[in-house]
Structure 1
Amino acid sequence: MRETGSGLTTPAGSGDSTVSGPGAAAGRHPFPDPHWYTIAGGAPLTGSVEVSGAKNSVTKLLVATLLTPEPCTLTRVPRIVEVDVVLGMLAELGTQVEWLDAQTVRVATPTIVDASLSEAYSGVNRIPILMMGPLLHRVGEAVVPLPGGCRIGKRPVDFHLVGLRAMGAEIIEQLRSVEVKTLGLHGAQVTLPFPSVGATENLLLAAVRAKGTTVISNAAVEPEIIDLILFLQQMGALVDVEVDRTIVVQGVESLHGAHHAPIPDRIEVASFAAAAVATNGRVDVVGARQEHVATFLNHLRRLGGEFEVSQHGLTFYRARELTATHVQTDVHPGYMTDWQQPLTVLLTQAKGASVIHETIYEDRFGYTRQLNEMGADIALSTSCLGGKACRFASRDFEHSAVVSGPTPLRAADLEIPDLRAGFAYVMAALVAEGSSLIRGTRFLERGYEDPVGKLRSIGALIETRPADAVQPTPPATAS
């Protein structure tokens, strides 16, 4: 059942980040800071910036290409470290990678040369766990390291494993890895206890080539999930998204290559929108799509921000004095958990007491400590404040925050703990009086394409400086 073959060489592509073979990225973890930022606050952001392709879509689309031996081409691919990491994983499995231009990549995996992904990727991100389904279809077995990501919660994988077992996978859980085998996956009825994005993606990737029909109930329906479904459909899959969070997949025997442009990054859109309003500027985000950020736009307007829609994207600015609001994060179409951090900084400049209730991850407010040191007034609570009780009720997790404002922020030396907190710290530095130094920029640059260049293009007073030769051990890796 296992495919065999000699090692594959990767065709040379344009640019300087062509993946050169198996394990290309393995030696680069943990990642050192490429540089640190110094940011002078007080300048309003004005101008135009183009949104990149969505990191949380592109990385999953790359995994999906393992389902076929034929070439697949993705355009609008962000040139970020996270993409390079995933390409390194694929290269280790036997994928050939070629950059056709600055943001177009062609990948092909005619043969799986190794179904065991190196433990060097353990804890790097959550992508390896998604490779189980494609590898089971290609060679009947896989060994993948357990996932990691930002320190924002436990993010367990038991939902994934229960679903795969129901589809006929034999799973052996090791300390740092998961070994899976099958004589053939089959359709199953799977009901997720929570509409997990990762579990939904994993089951989709396993179901599209399974024998029979798979029904995923209580599935996630985020735009990135729909983007993955559209790509799989182009590859020949049969996937229906029905009412009440139900996804029905009729398995097909094989899939073929496809060409796809990923959706724009809705997290980046919200980040630049919040920064524009926080600095009392005006920013055009080219390529932003209203339907992907509709919930964010409603909350932005409630607190005093405003937006305009054009044929090119969305424009963001401040319409009136910022006032307090209450926000509860939730699964799509609710308020996205990754929009929470820039909103928190924005609310430090709003009049009154705002409440943010985080219902997706139980430990996502750790970054507020450094904001308080800058002069913010943010109090954390274990109670479900400002909304309905969530699954973290009475479990002693500080998953609600009260942000009182407006409070002037003062410059500080900041250490980024994770990807999304990274942009929040950049925002805080842009609002603060004085010049801030930001370390831990490796986290931010794993998920945001050319953040320094984009921020400079809209008036941010941001410079880079060499990082120290000796870096402290990072507290976590970015998701």
Structure 2
Amino acid sequence: MEIIVNGGNRLEGVVEVNSSKNAILPILAATLLSNGHIEINKVPKIRDVKIISDLINDLGVEVKHEQNKLVYNVSDIKNYPSYELVRQMRASFLVMGPILAKKGKVKISLPGGCAIGTRPIDLHLKGFHALGAKIDLSHGDVTAEASNLIGSHIYLDFPSVGATENIMMAAALAKGSTYIENAALEPEVVDLANFINAMGGKISGAGTNVVKIDGVNELKPVNYTPIPDRIEAGTYMIAAAATGGNVLINNVIPEHMKAITAKLVESGAIVEEESNAIRVARTESIKPIYIKTLPYPGFPTDMQAQFMAYLSCALGSSVITESVFENRFMHLQELLRMGAEIKAEGRTAIIKGVKKLTGANVKATDLRAGAALVVAGLTAEGETIVGNSIHVDRGYENFVEKLNKLGADIIKK
């Protein structure tokens, strides 16, 4: 699959952001903790949602798609996750906590996903072990077993989002209280806690360094709408600024966008916040800036590639330091093919701004790299062909259609 971008068009208009991919995936995994009819609203039709829905269906859960809603009828979990589905997406590992809590035993293959560096699952397993599970790793599979999970104090060596979520889900049905220290602060963690609490769970402190989970005997069905996708919103913000456009992005929580907004303003863009929307425009040259990716509330690693594309045409040299993943500059080589001047030294990239990028044949290496190359193509002279664009479908619904409505000239083949 490929996306063909004819560059040079200024983006203008209004675009609507979907519910958060990174919030929906753990929420869908957490439906396994309940019994009965669960409805999740405003679900985007993206590849990652399909994979985890197929995985949950494969476990024996009835899954129905009704317009932009997913309906789950959860009763018994009949199977363990299949390797063919788990290997396609790292977030599939999030079903481990709920299955362990519900069934007392789970066996799952080591997860796949984007090739953006080592993302070990040791913190997940450390948490399960602390809750009383016996862990066994063999032949590429992980087995966790516990007749009863017991609340515990768990300290995370790194504030891992996935580990915080997985342990939180396992602890929701454990006996007693669990404390996760050095927990991830991301809004998606808060949203998962709100979802579990809506089902009758008792989680407090989500969004702070210490999350407390008081285990309950059962969780009940619920109708729930996840938070907006801050990374999708950020991508449209960058696209607007990169093209010198003027775009209103609806269905946004501005508080979640602070790090992105601050860097855009620093670069010379105009950012206006409303209660649930953000307008981005740019009328002057792009100023060079310094960015260091950090866990929330720091600058998100999922926006690093898009900013690198944007800063490729800045008036001066910018510096980006990637502190979260060690292999997340793979889009750099593709931007060089478009005429960018970028040098990488370890985890730091120095971007010397050029007057104009030039269209070229490039290849998406992961989800956000694919989005970044489309952004680069929007600003480039001539035609850019983004190959392997299936990565983009993992996280953006109707990406091409939405950009075209803003005035872009893009074809998806």
Q: Which runs of 5+ in 1 are unaligned?
A: 1-32, 383-398, 466-479
Instruction: Indicate yes or no: 2:282 matched with 1:334.
Output: no
Cα RMSD (Å) of the superposition? Answer: 1.3
Distance 1:462 1:132 in 2: 40
By how many angstroms is 1:286 displaced? 1.1
Q: Is the 8 A contact 2:254 2:276 kept in 1?
A: no
By how many angstroms is 1:92 displaced? 0.7
* DSSP 3-state at the match of 2:77: coil
Distance 1:243 1:357 in 2: 25
Q: Is the 8 A contact 2:61 2:75 kept in 1?
A: yes
- Residue identity in the other structure for 1:155: R
Identity between Structure 1 and Structure 2 (%): 36
How many residue pairs match? The answer is: 413
Once the two structures are superposed, residues 304-357 of structure 1 have per-residue CA deviations (whole angstroms, 9 ceiling, x without a partner) of 111112355111111432111101110010001001111111111111111111
Instruction: Indicate yes or no: 2:54 matched with 1:106.
Output: no
* DSSP 3-state at the match of 2:117: coil
1:261 equivalent in structure 2: 225
Instruction: Indicate yes or no: 2:19 matched with 1:71.
Output: no
1:149 equivalent in structure 2: 113
Counterpart pick for 1:213 among 177, 183, 186: 177
By how many angstroms is 1:445 displaced? 0.8
Correspondences of 1:38-117 after superposition (within 5 Å): 38-100=4-66, 102-114=67-79, 116-117=80-81
1:472 equivalent in structure 2: none
By how many angstroms is 1:178 displaced? 0.9
Distance 2:304 2:412 in 1: 26
Q: Is the 8 A contact 2:154 2:179 kept in 1?
A: yes
Distance 2:341 2:87 in 1: 33
Correspondences of 1:164-175 after superposition (within 5 Å): 164-175=128-139
- Residue identity in the other structure for 1:253: N
Single out whichever of 300-309 and 132-141 deviates more from structure 2: 132-141
By how many angstroms is 1:127 displaced? 2.6
Instruction: Indicate yes or no: 2:348 matched with 1:400.
Output: yes
Distance 1:63 1:244 in 2: 22
Distance 1:199 1:381 in 2: 30
Q: Is the 8 A contact 1:128 1:146 kept in 2?
A: no
1:389 equivalent in structure 2: none
By how many angstroms is 1:138 displaced? 2.0
2:256 equivalent in structure 1: 292
- Residue identity in the other structure for 2:69: T
1:21 equivalent in structure 2: none
Instruction: Indicate yes or no: 2:76 matched with 1:128.
Output: no
* DSSP 3-state at the match of 1:199: helix
- Residue identity in the other structure for 2:305: Q
1:13 equivalent in structure 2: none
Instruction: Indicate yes or no: 2:384 matched with 1:436.
Output: yes
Single out whichever of 342-351 and 125-134 deviates more from structure 2: 125-134
* DSSP 3-state at the match of 1:42: coil
By how many angstroms is 1:464 displaced? 2.5
Distance 1:432 1:303 in 2: 19
1:410 equivalent in structure 2: 358
Q: Which runs of 5+ in 2 are unaligned?
A: none
- Residue identity in the other structure for 1:79: K
1:453/1:242 CA distance change after superposition, 3 Å? closer
Q: Is the 8 A contact 1:121 1:145 kept in 2?
A: no
* DSSP 3-state at the match of 2:13: strand
* DSSP 3-state at the match of 1:210: coil
- Residue identity in the other structure for 1:293: M
Q: Is the 8 A contact 1:122 1:177 kept in 2?
A: no
Q: Is the 8 A contact 1:68 1:257 kept in 2?
A: yes
Counterpart pick for 2:370 among 406, 422, 441: 422
2:272 equivalent in structure 1: 308
Once the two structures are superposed, residues 385-404 of structure 1 have per-residue CA deviations (whole angstroms, 9 ceiling, x without a partner) of xxxxxxxxxxxxxx111111
Once the two structures are superposed, residues 414-461 of structure 1 have per-residue CA deviations (whole angstroms, 9 ceiling, x without a partner) of 111110000100011111101111211110011100111111110110
* DSSP 3-state at the match of 1:406: coil
- Residue identity in the other structure for 1:74: I
Question: Taking structure 1 as the reference length, what is the TM-score of the superposition?
Answer: 0.84
- Residue identity in the other structure for 2:70: V
Moved over 3 A (4+): none
1:234/1:122 CA distance change after superposition, 3 Å? closer
Which has a greater percent of helix?
Answer: 2
* DSSP 3-state at the match of 1:280: coil
* DSSP 3-state at the match of 1:60: helix
* DSSP 3-state at the match of 1:367: helix
Instruction: Indicate yes or no: 2:289 matched with 1:325.
Output: yes
Distance 1:176 1:243 in 2: 33
Instruction: Indicate yes or no: 2:411 matched with 1:463.
Output: yes
- Residue identity in the other structure for 2:124: H
1:447 equivalent in structure 2: 395
Distance 2:174 2:381 in 1: 58
By how many angstroms is 1:128 displaced? 2.9
* DSSP 3-state at the match of 2:90: coil
Instruction: Indicate yes or no: 2:237 matched with 1:273.
Output: yes
Q: Is the 8 A contact 1:348 1:406 kept in 2?
A: yes
Q: Is the 8 A contact 1:97 1:107 kept in 2?
A: yes
2:314 equivalent in structure 1: 350
- Residue identity in the other structure for 1:82: D
